[in-house]
Structure 1
């Protein structure tokens, strides 16, 4: 009976997900997802390969194009072709490079082709670029037939390498005299990301080496061997690479880290030209003191490419957008160093997932240790990631989509059953607690109370409000009237807080502390906080109107004002306290800054003071007025502060004009032009028709700085000495 008891859970958690995964794999839907997931894991896991030290790039970058845009010998892009032999010749001044590979097409005639031809003849190990394509009118130049025959590599006709209909070889004598040739085509996956490359590309049943292969052989002769789906390349010096090709003739590249890609040795063409000019003018005797010493290219594989935006040679890599020459350098490094990844068949991913799911059945339905049930998802993810990393270190890529789809599906089905059968007691307490505590907090607490007590950290918006001059109000009122006033005020404000998905942290006398974005995470928390703050300003006006109509409380109380401070960022949130008495609260720099902003609002005469982090994400919907740069107590970094004025839809021309004048005045203030700044700030009050508190504050500050000028290095940031 006990054995049959577990058959249905086994069917739900193993058989059903297994069948779904098999169907997904059968229709080929998992390939792109596998590669996307492996990209993410590669970003997280430690790298185990380094970019080849043998490869450097001569980069025609933005600086190069801008610097020589008006140069008579170069001109605007594309440059005149006589510059390329000059660049190549510079690399050969001392020990020549192994090979120079040009990642720039010369498929159309120009007036400077003779320079390239002479470079081909005199400078030796140079490889020129060819480009293949599909579609369009098929036309082959006479010289292309000769070039195509000259550089064709004899390979079997059944190779899986990508095939193209049309070819563009270097033009005329440039191609005919080229010592070597390579194809620069790159082939992105269906999601547009470039992850794979091929050593050869086919045209008219002929095979041509790609840039990566040309870098590997570096002008040396080589042999190829195609057998049982494995492709081997053997150089004359005995170095062999086995390339794990896929069915489409592509191999998965190891893309190193983003930091390494950005730090690939790239020497600006402008720097080389400048160095050559220094040599020709005898300005530098020691070549090592040149801007780009020629020793940088000694015995290297040199790629000549472009990164300037005007050249339109960008590709999307797993690390984002990069110049095409960077991707080519990665592929070249892969072959040179043997950093080639083998994508394992989908059955490996399905098999490992089903094994983990079978363990899950035992833990959920046989094991009675509740802690293990809760921690098993983490352990399962750890097992899978550990297996992935172990294989990754062997340059094997384990398909991940099976686990990402199958494990959550199976485990949720199993856990749903347990939740239904074991959750009666929890539902009873749920009904009781919801009458006592905020429902959002109750839901989280019942799901994982231990986790909330330990706390978590994520993005929230911290809310602080305080009644201005409350001490004076409390002295004028009796105890009963004070309690009644506070109850009216706090009830109205708390209702608005909760209506906008805010969580009440605590009351501190007349102060309200709230959290937006926790315990239920919500990406809109900054906007919800701004909405609540503006609604509170409106609600306080309603309360004051009612109090004045009834002549309730004292005149000071009826004129009550408050200040609000808002800041968003990472904070620790959770239940803090003891097992018997705990409250849901927040801690961290984000929270402290919100409290400091609430206090600083008094100086600027504003009801709602916010940080730049709030303004930057809410400015499309709400209008903020820039006020100042300040340094709050306990925090060294300066903070840009704003007043939340209104919704964007409620803006008036008067507000826009006044704020523009204020910004002009603040710029004069930063430039130490005190009199001009004061004039602008006085103009702000004139436009508003009343004394503008921030402008008056800045006027006094300018007057003080005029009498006692700040020291050198003054950054215009005002340091608050009080909380």
Structure 2
């Protein structure tokens, strides 16, 4: 049965979200969402990598375009090509860079191509840009085969790198004399954001290095290896394993936006101006130039554009940036080994399902409400903590599974929990609202688990019974008897509930009540005593009304009741069936309260209580000691008291009479029967009315005088009836 109880929550919170995740993954709908969500999380976390210090950019920026707007050769874009050897030559004035990588394509013929050819032959480590594309008419170009054979990298044909149909190499002699060639293609994700790059591009089953790989090689030889789904590059004792995805792309670590904006970039205009000053001998120390040539020493130099008119912008996770910045990020990733490995989506789904199963346990198995309340915080913290831990290891956990499934699972689980608990609350509310005050009902329903489970704790058991009710019932018609009972029980139950008492049950005219449950209340003995006295007063009001209206019979109008109170440990809780249950109490404490109610008749008192009640409440209420008795079924003697009144309502006559009674009881214990009888007789004289308790003790003394008790008699009276 317990297993069946959890089947529906498991279905709602685990199986349904799991099926949705499976469908999203199957149709490939979650990849872009995974990357978008991970971008957002990356922005929240502190960086753990820094941009490479080996990369520097020569930027044809807005300043360069604007400064030379009227120049005959630099006044419009694209610049004439003989300016590029000038820029490259400047970087080699003092100590050359490792490599110069041009992020500008020279795929169309120009009158100044000879300058680039001369630079290729004389200035050394230069890499020119090639561009690949799909579609259009494939028109073979002169020198294309020579260039492709010269610069392609031998790799197996089963590599996953992106493949293109057409290629645009540097034109003619520029490409044929180029020391190196790299591909500048970048591949954005389906949402248009550039997050990933590839080390190689394929054309005609040939592989060509991208700008990032050319930066990593820095003009030196390298070896690349594709084996068993892993791609490695070796150079000068440095090995990089590149965590390629199935499409041959790798996720880039994009550093911070501030780092991207602070990549060392030197304006082409600044270099030209510095060169002019140097040629004019205006500056003796090259280090005082606007762009000192030494900044390029042993660096990887990228030549690119950021001016708006060059139209070379891309969308990155940090927003719009020049394409050369994105290329610099990819180069830094490969040089420093900062690439991110996107874990298979099944990892994210498995983690999510694990969290969802924990959710079922916390919401439906666990009984600690605090855990239920912090479950969303716990789950989100687990997810963020694991994501961050893996991110620090350059691993990216698929996020969409958790982001989609957890809210869905939690909402369905919480809705089901609310429905089931609401159903149970309505059930128990229907029971409790007739038993206790509405305020107590609301408080009790706050902790349904404790309410259903019940327990054993300190309570005060309350029993009341109308004296001689059999005679009353015989004198009244059925309708009058019902009306009398309704009037009496309604008035008494109202008092019981108003003092936080719980109605256990009615037994004919008898009322059984509980104080201190279902809401535990340390004041339960005091509240029970207050209830008993208020009931006595209320009965007087009822009797006065009946007499005034001459309602019912004379016996009914003189109705009296007896109350028994006892406090101590008892088992309390709902007992019965799902369809028919009541909140009740059981135990010796309860049994003794019932015996005290019955014994009150013998002593002629309205409220008979145990010593535990007297001890707990004697500061506020006045109790009269009556006797030591042994109730049926129990060997231990019980000290019993009559609840007389509030302490504030005491009179000297009451105190004098009780003092005389206690004097007589001491004589009784000392077996001085005559003295005891004398004292007990004076009690009635002091009260001015016959005292039933004193008469009871007088008869007991007379019987013991005739038949003295055995040696060892302790004065405890044993009741033989309930």
TM value normalised by structure 2: 0.58
Equivalent residue number for residue 311 of structure 1: 310
Measure, in 1, the Cα distance between the counterparts of 2:391 and 2:169.
38
Measure, in 1, the Cα distance between the counterparts of 2:309 and 2:117.
26
Measure, in 2, the Cα distance between the counterparts of 1:4 and 1:423.
20
Q: Please, which moves more after superposition, 116-125 or 20-29?
A: 20-29
Equivalent residue number for residue 77 of structure 1: 77
Measure, in 1, the Cα distance between the counterparts of 2:185 and 2:273.
32
What secondary structure sits across from 2:59 in the alignment? strand
- CA deviation after TM superposition for structure 1 residue 366, in Å: 2.0
Q: Are 2:187 and 2:194, in contact at CA under 8 Å, matched by a contact in 1?
A: yes
Q: How well do the aligned residues superpose, as a CA RMSD in angstroms?
A: 1.7
1:19-34 matches, within 5 Å, as 19-34=19-34
1:137-156 matches, within 5 Å, as 137-156=137-156
Measure, in 1, the Cα distance between the counterparts of 2:206 and 2:225.
16
1:271 aligns with 2:291: no
1:165 aligns with 2:165: yes
Q: Please, which moves more after superposition, 418-427 or 183-192?
A: 418-427
Q: Are 2:9 and 2:416, in contact at CA under 8 Å, matched by a contact in 1?
A: no
- CA deviation after TM superposition for structure 1 residue 295, in Å: 1.3
What secondary structure sits across from 2:37 in the alignment? helix
Measure, in 1, the Cα distance between the counterparts of 2:74 and 2:346.
56
Equivalent residue number for residue 674 of structure 1: none
Measure, in 2, the Cα distance between the counterparts of 1:336 and 1:62.
29
- CA deviation after TM superposition for structure 1 residue 238, in Å: 1.3
Q: Compare CA radii of gyration and give the structure with the larger one.
A: 2
Cα 1:262/1:425, change in 2 over 3 Å: farther
Equivalent residue number for residue 720 of structure 1: none
- CA deviation after TM superposition for structure 1 residue 286, in Å: 1.6
1:127-142 matches, within 5 Å, as 127-142=127-142
1:386-425 matches, within 5 Å, as 386-422=385-421
1:287-366 matches, within 5 Å, as 287-366=286-365
Measure, in 2, the Cα distance between the counterparts of 1:267 and 1:425.
73
Q: Which runs of 5+ in 1 are unaligned?
A: 428-723
Measure, in 2, the Cα distance between the counterparts of 1:14 and 1:240.
43
Measure, in 2, the Cα distance between the counterparts of 1:28 and 1:306.
36
- CA deviation after TM superposition for structure 1 residue 2, in Å: 3.0
Measure, in 2, the Cα distance between the counterparts of 1:394 and 1:217.
25
- CA deviation after TM superposition for structure 1 residue 423, in Å: 5.2
Equivalent residue number for residue 204 of structure 2: 204
- CA deviation after TM superposition for structure 1 residue 7, in Å: 2.1
What secondary structure sits across from 1:129 in the alignment? strand
Cα 1:411/1:276, change in 2 over 3 Å: same
Measure, in 2, the Cα distance between the counterparts of 1:59 and 1:419.
62
What secondary structure sits across from 1:285 in the alignment? coil
Cα 1:108/1:285, change in 2 over 3 Å: same
Equivalent residue number for residue 257 of structure 1: 256
- CA deviation after TM superposition for structure 1 residue 287, in Å: 1.5
Measure, in 2, the Cα distance between the counterparts of 1:306 and 1:84.
12
- CA deviation after TM superposition for structure 1 residue 249, in Å: 0.8
Measure, in 1, the Cα distance between the counterparts of 2:320 and 2:88.
28
Equivalent residue number for residue 53 of structure 1: 53
What secondary structure sits across from 2:72 in the alignment? coil
Q: Are 1:69 and 1:77, in contact at CA under 8 Å, matched by a contact in 2?
A: no
1:180 aligns with 2:151: no
- CA deviation after TM superposition for structure 1 residue 4, in Å: 2.8
Measure, in 2, the Cα distance between the counterparts of 1:303 and 1:221.
19
What secondary structure sits across from 2:213 in the alignment? helix
Q: Are 1:253 and 1:334, in contact at CA under 8 Å, matched by a contact in 2?
A: yes
- CA deviation after TM superposition for structure 1 residue 18, in Å: 1.3
Measure, in 1, the Cα distance between the counterparts of 2:47 and 2:381.
18
- CA deviation after TM superposition for structure 1 residue 419, in Å: 2.5
- CA deviation after TM superposition for structure 1 residue 425, in Å: 11
- CA deviation after TM superposition for structure 1 residue 352, in Å: 0.3
What secondary structure sits across from 1:142 in the alignment? coil
Q: What is the count of residue pairs matched by the alignment? A: 428
Q: Which runs of 4+ in 1 moved over 6 A?
A: 424-427
Equivalent residue number for residue 551 of structure 1: none
Measure, in 2, the Cα distance between the counterparts of 1:165 and 1:244.
25
Q: Are 1:201 and 1:209, in contact at CA under 8 Å, matched by a contact in 2?
A: yes
- CA deviation after TM superposition for structure 1 residue 150, in Å: 1.1
Equivalent residue number for residue 248 of structure 1: 247
Measure, in 2, the Cα distance between the counterparts of 1:426 and 1:250.
56
